[in-house]
Structure 1
């Protein structure tokens, strides 16, 4: 049974409802003819030159990404600007572009839920609940047994694809941790949430100096918790792609769904003294 882009768009928004997106977000269909048949979908975290080329060279009919290409307003899509160049490349190749962003962060089997599952967290639940108890920002749960903070950092390093920034940790390497909160992608906005404050460790990405410093200084008054683990933004979200691909295959039988292995983390190398 052939599926149109309109069919795929509907399925995507059933799996990752637009109503769950943050007010500042811009998920949804960016370009594409809704009447065109979709036989192949390629998934990636970012719409960048490499993933666009990968999708177009692989004859994909749709590039489905996590991060919206047009998250912030643009006044030109001229091809001497990278967003215009990418959109023109996709349009010429008849490859549509669809973004599922914060609407995919909050759902069951979404970005944070996937990371919690892969870490083996028990009784995982949202840090900030949404419309239903199993939908919301981030996840908090318990490891099956306490481990050292250093051991947990190594587990994450093995679980996530390698990046130049690696895994950064603020806390005592030997401290025992069991209650874990996490947020895939940038999550310093959740640092003061009660579920995070009450955790032994908080795992997220893009922790800025001042919020991280303030959280650690406050933690000194409460026994040193939560410790902080900062991982690559791209890596924390890349884990979700395989599960998303499986969901699409189940809803769209016969459609070829592939996942990009390209590292689109922006950092190439790090120099340590």
Structure 2
């Protein structure tokens, strides 16, 4: 059975910590390097539910994509949720290791897993890593579909390939537009719009798109946009990462077991669509009746005027 230091050394070959962004917090968060590791759980978020899952599985190592402490702290007291996570890990002999932006840049990395989940053949990174002579590493990926399709059909394909979340996918663009090439970026990707436009793709699939950057990108157009939940775009990586560690364990004869958390840790738990507007009265020229005294007005969810009509 390998020690924690053996496993961490292998993981740092896959995702070297020096390739993480300068602001990032990757690597070993807690754990005894000399402790033996027989089971590893992979997940996106180091939240309480996932830590409880690791303890329940009898894992000695939890590997997550997102850091527990991205900014400095002065306490791990159990009076905070992060402190409780640390206490639960340490008290149950579970180490925590983080691979974040170093896993984003890896080859294969987070966006390779996302591309595979939606059926793309990767042709290269969206933002190549200048230190990689092979041109495989970098942020995001550009890929091709097996055959042309429509934006609506691609969005349905992405929805089927990614794990289900309450918010689903948002789409911006002509649903009948032809889609052949796609750029993807696991996680928050609206900082890469210039790179996406230079790539000349038909669609950009990412997460956490904000109103103004998305609106400006559409006005500059193309590509069309498909916005998924942050957690959903990064979850495929945990399966890929577990498979990579399985290969390493098999080569070393470690007898290591890996598991993938299927706990949905996306923070949004429900989606409430806007109600359909009330049907217009038969005689649209007749004034609407006034509500009875003391009666509450009916809620309005959409504008009642036509586009461009005077208000």
Verify same fold: TM over 0.5: yes
Query: Structure 1 residues 199 and 134 mapped into 2: Cα distance closer, same or farther (>3 Å)?
Result: same
1:139 aligns to 2:151 (yes or no): no
**Distance between the aligned counterparts of 1:157 and 1:50, measured in 2?**
25
Which residues in structure 2 correspond to 1:38-77 (within 5 Å)? Answer: 38-77=37-76
The match for 1:267 is: 268
Unaligned regions of 5+ residues in structure 1, if any? 220-224
Which residues in structure 2 correspond to 1:145-160 (within 5 Å)? Answer: 145-160=147-162
The match for 2:204 is: 202
Report the number of matched residues: 267
The match for 1:32 is: 31
Considering Cα pairs closer than 8 Å and 6+ residues apart, tell me whether 1 or 2 has the greater RCO: 1
**Distance between the aligned counterparts of 2:138 and 2:83, measured in 1?**
34
**Distance between the aligned counterparts of 2:16 and 2:218, measured in 1?**
35
Q: Highest CA radius of gyration, 1 or 2?
A: 2
Native 8 Å contact 2:112 2:122 kept in 1 = no
The match for 1:118 is: 117
TM-score w.r.t. the length of structure 2 is 0.83
| Deviation readout 1:72-131 (Å, 9 max, x if unpaired) | 222221111011010001000010000001111122221101122233323521111112
Native 8 Å contact 1:190 1:196 kept in 2 = no
**Distance between the aligned counterparts of 2:41 and 2:117, measured in 1?**
23
| Deviation readout 1:26-51 (Å, 9 max, x if unpaired) | 11000000011111111110000100
1:183 aligns to 2:185 (yes or no): yes
Query: Structure 1 residues 206 and 124 mapped into 2: Cα distance closer, same or farther (>3 Å)?
Result: same
TM-score w.r.t. the length of structure 1 is 0.95
Q: Show structure 1 runs of 4+ deviating over 3 A.
A: 194-197
SS of 1:138's equivalent?
strand
Native 8 Å contact 2:122 2:141 kept in 1 = no
SS of 1:193's equivalent?
helix
The match for 2:220 is: 218
| Deviation readout 1:14-68 (Å, 9 max, x if unpaired) | 0111122111111100000001111111111000010000001221100110101
